[in-house]
Structure 1
Amino acid sequence: MSLRFFKPGYRSWVVIWITAVLVLWEAAAWMLQLFLSPQQAASRLPYLHEVLAALFRYSSTLAEQGAVTFGNAAIGFAGGTLLGLGLALLMSAAVWLERTLSPYVVSSQMVPVIGLAPIVYGIIHNAEWARIVMAAYVTFFPIIIHTLKGLKSAAPEHLELMRSCGASLTARYIKCLLPSALPGLFSGMKIAAPLAVTSSIVVELMGAPNGLGVLMVSSLYYGHAQVGMFWATIMLSIGIGLISYLVISLAERWLTPWQPEFRAKGGQAT
């Protein structure tokens, strides 16, 4: 997905899509009310306006706990991005390095987050660091894959020209390889950003003292009385992921204006 959202025609489709989701949500909640008791129906899928009311009612608590989750996820995301970028640069420097590191990089992703989170939390015994580590864990793999693909997409004739001019390895990376890798890097970041938030919440479900995951568990414990809080927490988590994606997309638009999707017909940047 690009920044087509800012184009008038695309914005209209986004509005239609959001409206359709809202209508379907309300219709589904109403259908449950017909076949179940009001309490049972609300515990499964409350009306959207009730969720929005809870979102405003508990806004201070949600903002406080959301900041905890987002802060840890952001730190882990930044660390995972730097780790992934560094490994991608190393693997691009020599074929033997790529062949040596690739099996370990791929194998590291074989353990699912839901299984690894309690292990990390049990070893570290610190909720904050466990969230950061898990966010970095889910981040570095897509960063490596997409950045390495971007590094390999550099035009061979450009690299050959720089070699013939006596350009150093550092100069080739700065002037040719890294610009070629930026689109891939941003693609990996857009994939990893929402995953970093999700992984932080998974750690919080394991018994962390604060965060959105704690609100989810506590609201489920109180059942019908806190169903609005539960769904408000879900909506906030989705919102954090979408905002993260949008911020990275804006940065991509600013730093890589030469990409075809950011240029209008005729070659002018949009």
Structure 2
Amino acid sequence: MSLRSLKLDYRSWIGIWILSLLLLWEGIAWILHMWMSPQQAASRLPYLHDVLAALVRYSGTLAEQGAVTFGNAAIGFAGGAMLGLMLALLMSAAVWLERTLSPYVISSQMIPIIGLAPIVYGIIHHAEWARIVMAAYVTFFPIVIHTLKGLKSAAPEHLELMRSCGASLPARYIKCLLPSALPGLFSGMKIAAPLAVTSSIVVELMGAPDGLGVLMVSSLYYGSAQVGMFWATIMLSIGIGLISYLVISLAERWLTPWQPEFRAKGGNAV
């Protein structure tokens, strides 16, 4: 069997898994509607086709509020990624810097998002900046950890060769250390991107004037009358996080083609 056919089979299995999940959703919703009143069943798990209908019906509102959430999350993600990259570069420059900064970087993540969000929102008193700060907060930690690991993975013999050739420190970083760190950087970004969206929504739940979190709260307030809107908001939030992950994955494939999983493989697989 060729590698191409294996890839097609793998994609087919993903499609089967997604289809099975959707059918399971419809089946559970059907069972709930058999044993409960329509309002009670819908409040627990509505039919998938009702959620999809709500996505279409409220597409304008969802797109507008989703853009607000995604925009703030993207700005915070970019800022957190830059901060994480700079911290990783500093920590890689000297062992004493890594030992000094590591406890602070790790301890900064001890506060849960749901506890920190109202504190940040209460201090800043600005919904947009609070969302950006929280998105940056959840972004920089995985960036630091994975980028630092990538910087340490550079081949010692390559660094020694560059030192023997008289290469400067910036040249060693540009030609050797940073390319080694790119896979780790992208791994951290793929983890952080969905978290940035989630943190922005958490801030919106605290009383922001707009965003997907506001739609969630308002739809919960109206109960079963807006259950479709609530689940449509959840689906859109998942979609935004998934798209962010896929975009970063495509950028990784384009910028780091030397990774083993991206190399073209010839021959046949048994």
Give me the TM-score of the superposition, normalised by structure 1: 0.96
Residue aligning to 2:146 = 146
Structure 1: how far apart are the matches of 2:10 and 2:258?
Answer: 21
What amino acid is aligned across from residue 101 of structure 1 in structure 2? L
Structure 1: how far apart are the matches of 2:189 and 2:152?
Answer: 18
Structure 1: how far apart are the matches of 2:35 and 2:113?
Answer: 37
Residue aligning to 1:49 = 49
Structure 1: how far apart are the matches of 2:99 and 2:258?
Answer: 32
Residue aligning to 2:64 = 64
Structure 2: how far apart are the matches of 1:124 and 1:200?
Answer: 14
State the shift of 1:266 in Å. 4.5
Deviations 1:127-180 (A, max 9, x none): 000000000000000000000000000000000000000000000000000000
Structure 2: how far apart are the matches of 1:165 and 1:249?
Answer: 35
Residue aligning to 1:119 = 119
- Alignment length, in residue pairs? 263
Matched, 1:94 2:94: yes
State the shift of 1:92 in Å. 0.0
Structure 2: how far apart are the matches of 1:242 and 1:224?
Answer: 27
Residue aligning to 1:134 = 134
Moved more, 103-112 or 36-45: 36-45
Residue 258 of structure 1 aligns to a residue whose secondary structure is: coil
Residue aligning to 2:18 = 18
Instruction: Within 5 Å, give how 1:77-226 maps onto structure 2.
Output: 77-226=77-226
Q: Hey, which bits of structure 1, 4+ residues long, moved more than 6 A?
A: none
Residue aligning to 1:33 = 33
Moved more, 249-258 or 33-42: 33-42
State the shift of 1:215 in Å. 0.0
Moved more, 12-21 or 144-153: 12-21
Deviations 1:9-52 (A, max 9, x none): 32211110110110000011011112211110011110000000
Structure 1: how far apart are the matches of 2:121 and 2:58?
Answer: 28
Structure 1: how far apart are the matches of 2:148 and 2:71?
Answer: 28
Residue aligning to 1:262 = 262
Give me the TM-score of the superposition, normalised by structure 2: 0.96
Structure 2: how far apart are the matches of 1:11 and 1:60?
Answer: 32
What amino acid is aligned across from residue 222 of structure 1 in structure 2? Y
What amino acid is aligned across from residue 147 of structure 2 in structure 1? T
Structure 1: how far apart are the matches of 2:8 and 2:211?
Answer: 37
State the shift of 1:264 in Å. 2.8
What amino acid is aligned across from residue 227 of structure 1 in structure 2? V
Structure 2: how far apart are the matches of 1:159 and 1:80?
Answer: 29
**Percentage of identical aligned residues:** 89
Structure 1: how far apart are the matches of 2:17 and 2:265?
Answer: 27
